[in-house]
Structure 1
């Protein structure tokens, strides 16, 4: 184990300062991280694991640059999941890729003081300089409760800063606390059951830590159900035989010694808060109770949920339409300018039809994606998302999954990869595997550009169809969830039989959303989207342009050029397989490129249909959807009928078209077999559904 931070004398932290941010889930930790660091953040994965690593920078009141590490939320330092293990590794100084923290900010929810102090007590046991950020003080005071912050600070032996992160209150005081001298923390829980004390006395002296923290760390490892991993993190594997021997002795003498140890610590925390925290004697029903009665109601809760979803999708189309059209006009003007400035040739065609026709037709959907993320952020920040998970518990239990499995499905609506990673929080390995296999059915943000494009073609580019468009998108999202639930039920009845575990979910308090935090998240998402458009999508667009431009024809006939190009030859090879779905070879090329990323379908259509007439001999259509509607089969029939548009939408709802997701599944399951199984069954299901819908539609004359 590295030298204990607790051995340092109280001193002002040196520069650069590494500060760890820890706290329970839903304590407002991420809000404080975003408020302190602003846009000075970077997100990556911890080396060797697919767990998000968030690092940001801020300056204290002395102008020193501080590095803030946002650690995964946890309730204790006894890790039960890989993300919680990361928190322990960093705090114990056991990760060579992450510096030992010079200080720790412990974020606690003031409305759940005793529960939050359990983790704080374990952090203080480590001897690290600590500052407690007492978040959500406004909610505590609104409930009529009172808390003596100065007395709490004196009893904890470390600075305690009341704050309201969503309103940026208390941030200056938090910076000020970090700017002062911070003494090493001391343990606030000193008593254990007598039998546990005897075990500690036998093994503590051999524990290689500073005297101030030796006993507390020893108690932590002793209390672990399997001390192997904690012993590795603390570099005390040589004590494993003694630790296991003492655990066995305690099991014989005091079978419930772990529960008694926890109860002892909780009693000490309760005694610490006595006289500091005063609960309001008035237990009148609050606004939150009234809201929960409606939003979690078995009937009205569902109506509210559907209403919120409908409003969100309507806003995506109504609020995003104007900026989308403006960006589209800008790219069209840029393409026209390039065609004027450059002589005819490959370079002009590459820039106007390859780069702008490809990446530009994806970037135009950025406003609508940002509107979607704004509403998702609003629902998350307000505390509604947890209520939605609670509402879904009965549905999840009927398909054989625990209600907590709905949280990865919710996360997958932003991107399937974090949804798959968040399945790690599920305790049952069978539930975890099933959730991973069905999570990509949730419509992610990468599908939205395809949805918007096909819905615009479905309505023929007519204005004033916003409500109908929003309704179609909502149906598509619900179809994705229905498919996820259906296959989850099938897998739980066949491949992964087990009994569903009951949902244990803490409903966070309702909070006023922080627009600054939501804006920071939107900017982060916009940056990621633009980086992807500027790299992957541009690269694929350029490759696709080359495939459509060669081999060259001398007669200048664009249609013949496309048909005879390398891309055309590939498309005509796969057309017999997709023709029963109503798809032509151009759509087939789009489906192939979409395997890298779903939104590549839009950029591919932009390259393939760049420079076409609108069917009336006019040059260059105003929108890509108009170009699609102008396409014809050799016999003159339109390619993109309403039935074909619906079939394409269904294919993208049900199929897995994202190589990044395939790789993530392989890493999470440890096997390519499950990754290929997922890709195969989702693609086959999408094909069968689309075949049935298209052929049935043709049979009834659609």
Structure 2
């Protein structure tokens, strides 16, 4: 007998993902739905009777009349019309008890599909705190499905959900099979009137107005004070990335060096020792050391999302973004792109109009993603003094902030040009729900960070490891001839490639070694650091890997070269995964090729101007 499949669905901000984490714990895996890049999260839960159940976390949806890609996936899974995805045996509908008037409409839509369902009425603690009282027995009678009150972040109600799922499994053989859903939704006649009728019966006491939320919103959404708050939040985030991660980075550096010392003392000198130390550990170690900074960035973004601030930031930025032709909903994908352009591009599926979505996809890679952090951190530490500007604010952090601002400014400028030339038309008005403020669950933050850490370490153990080994081989062979006076790498395959492309890169201040490191960097930006470490054959005996590499770069490069490379990485689209996701999201190679072309031209022009301007300034 096949394992029962339960789907978890509900509107955004209903606490659906928190409930999914509470039910499955760490027993979950993330993939994509067939044919699209929408994230598919599935976990396993075990009932008190020992029955294992597959739990699928569907994308958030306001309606089963799909307007976005997220809603279409939820629609197709529930209707059984998504190829490669079997329909669920049971649906758990998650609704926000504090926002029942809007959420109940979605509940009625799902119930109309005649799939066995359970209503998880979430955030009951907030509803009770506001003085709201509901007659849950009467609500069960009206909806004709089990209603279970839950507080997902505290795991309250999860045991009752387990029992309800187990009861369904034990009795489903005696239940009347539901009719298959039609291709068109069977809407409840005048559904909103039905919602009003049900609520008038089941709400015993209405919730008190949330005056403190209104007071916060008056400040957070104020054109001046709200914008200043957003600027300070982003500034704090970038200062934290550079300063707070220092201690754990030191631990990782020491750990890498410790392993290198052990191998050096226990493996005889020769090709194998060189491969492990100079190829694997130097290459992978040069990237893995930036894991604390990347996790800090994700921590800030997850915190802003879970607290309810992200939607307000999007609302606040709507007027500004409209001036450059961007839809207000583009703010969240663009801010997500600070972590990685891939989920940022995937998040554009919440944007309804195709031209608005395409514009956002094409500029998302200009946001400074976490893969750029290792390069920025390496070059800033090597060439920018850590001067204190004011209190905890230091010059290196300000330079990092400036690089992020440069990417933002470039994205807005490109969006303005695209909307004026390629995607003409007026922007649609922004309609966005402002969720209740809440303190994020530490467990949910921890699970989110753990998932990101796994992805980063997996990349370090696969893509970066493979490219580091390949580059080590290219930089080590063939061996120099007898009596050679130049360093060995000059005679290697990598050296020959570097010298071949050097004439193209020389006008922007890059030498042949940078050219060699740029090539594997097209697969993944962060590989640039490990590639530089391998090319320069850093031997960090007794010293920290990145400090040693930074010292060598500071001696070998000029400041104009370093600034030129920083500008190159602001604009260049050096990420094959981003191009692949753009291809799948747009269903065309036209837009990824256009993205790669315009960003490469922009990067070359920006680096050229930076290099020659700073040379004339005598820097």
- Displacement, 1:63? 1.5
Q: Distance in 1 between matches of 2:179 and 2:269?
A: 75
- Which is worse superposed, 158-167 or 688-697? 158-167
Cα separation, 2, equivalents of 1:556 and 1:41: 59
Aligned partners of 2:182 and 2:575: how far apart in 1? Answer: 46
Alignment correspondent of 2:164: 177
1: distance between equivalents of 2:243 and 2:393? 6
Q: Give the Cα separation in 2 of the matches to 1:556 and 1:658.
A: 41
1:97 is aligned to 2:22: no
Partner of 1:229: none
Using the alignment, how far apart are the partners of 1:501 and 1:111 within structure 2?
Answer: 29
Match of 2:197 among 271, 293, 308: 271
Q: Tell me which of 595, 603, 608 is aligned to 1:678.
A: 595
Mapped contact 2:334–2:364 kept (Cα < 8 A): yes
Which of 112, 118, 124 in structure 2 is aligned with 1:125?
Answer: 112
> 1:265-664, aligned counterparts within 5 Å?
265-278=191-204, 280=206, 282-283=208-209, 286-459=211-384, 467-553=394-480, 560-612=487-539, 621-631=543-553, 638-664=555-581
Q: In structure 2, which of residues 43, 50, 58 is the aligned counterpart of residue 71 of structure 1?
A: 58
2:12 is equivalent to residue 22 of structure 1: no
CA distance in 1, matches of 2:567, 2:33: 36
SS at match of 1:392: helix
Q: Which residue of 2 is the match for residue 691 of structure 1?
A: 608
Q: Displacement, 1:423?
A: 1.8
The secondary structure found in structure 1 opposite 2:41 is strand
CA distance in 2 between partners of 1:38 and 1:211 (Å): 31
What is the CA deviation profile of residues 488-515 of structure 1, one whole-angstrom value per residue up to 9, with x for unaligned ones? Answer: 0001111111111111111111111001
Shift of 1:646: 2.5
The 1:271–1:310 alpha-carbon spacing in structure 2 relative to 1, beyond 3 Å, is same
Please state how far the C-alpha of 1:40 moved relative to its aligned partner: 0.8
Q: 1:611 to 1:81 in 2, by over 3 A?
A: closer
Corresponding residue for residue 228 of structure 1: none
Query: Which TM-score applies when normalising by structure 1?
Result: 0.83
Cα offsets for 1:183-229 (capped at 9, x unmatched): 999xxxxxxxxxxxxxxxxxxxxxxxx99758xx5695477xxxxxx
- Residues 674, 646 of structure 1: alpha-carbon distance in 2 compared, 3 angstrom cutoff: same
Match of 2:70 among 83, 97, 102: 83
Once the two structures are overlaid, the 10-residue window that deviates more, 90-99 or 494-503, is 90-99
Larger radius of gyration, structure 1 or 2? 1
Distance 1:694 1:326 in 2: 36
Deviation string for 1:7-48 (max 9, x for gaps)?
xxxxxxx86221000101111111111221121111111122
Take 2:137 and 2:223, find their aligned partners in 1: how far apart are those partners? Answer: 44
How big is each residue's C-alpha offset from its partner over 1:379-402, in whole Å with a ceiling of 9 and x where there is no partner? 111011111111110111001122
1:460 and 1:467 mapped to 2: Cα distance? Answer: 9
Contact 2:341/2:365 (CA < 8 Å) preserved in 1?
yes
Q: Is the 8 A contact 2:40 2:57 kept in 1?
A: yes
- The answer on whether the counterparts of 1:629 and 1:640 sit within 8 Å (CA) in structure 2 is no
Cα shift readout 1:112-155 (whole Å, capped 9, x = no counterpart): 11211111112112222211111112222232222222221222
For 1:244, the equivalent position in structure 2 comes to none
Between 421-430 and 541-550, the greater mean CA deviation after superposition? 421-430
Mapped partners of 2:271, 2:486: distance in 1: 17
Aligned equivalents of 1:322, 1:273: Cα separation in 2: 54
Q: For the Cα contact (< 8 Å) 2:36–2:585, is it kept in 1?
A: no
* Segment drifting more, 646-655 vs 17-26: 646-655
Deviations 1:275-329 (A, max 9, x none): 311454754x521111111111111111111111122222222321111111111
Aligned partners of 1:130 and 1:184 also within 8 Å: no
Kindly indicate whether the alpha-carbon contact (under 8 Å) linking 1:590 and 1:605 is maintained by their aligned counterparts in 2. Answer: yes
Deviations 1:619-639 (A, max 9, x none): 67533243343358xxxxx33
How far apart, CA to CA, are the structure 1 residues paired with 2:453 and 2:366?
Answer: 23
Deviation per CA, 1:335-380, whole angstroms, max 9, x where unpaired? 1221211122111100000000101111111111112111211111
Q: Give the match for residue 109 of structure 1.
A: 96
RMSD: 2.5
CA contact (8 A) 2:282 2:545 kept: no
For 2:413 and 2:556, the matched residues in 1 are separated by 32
CA–CA distance in structure 1, aligned partners of residues 207 and 59 of structure 2:
35
Which runs of no fewer than 5 residues in structure 2 stay unpaired?
A: none
Say if 1:171 and 1:472 are closer, same or farther in 2 by CA, change over 3 A: farther
SS in 2 for 1:19: strand
In 2, the alpha carbon distance for the partners of 1:219 and 1:576 equals 60
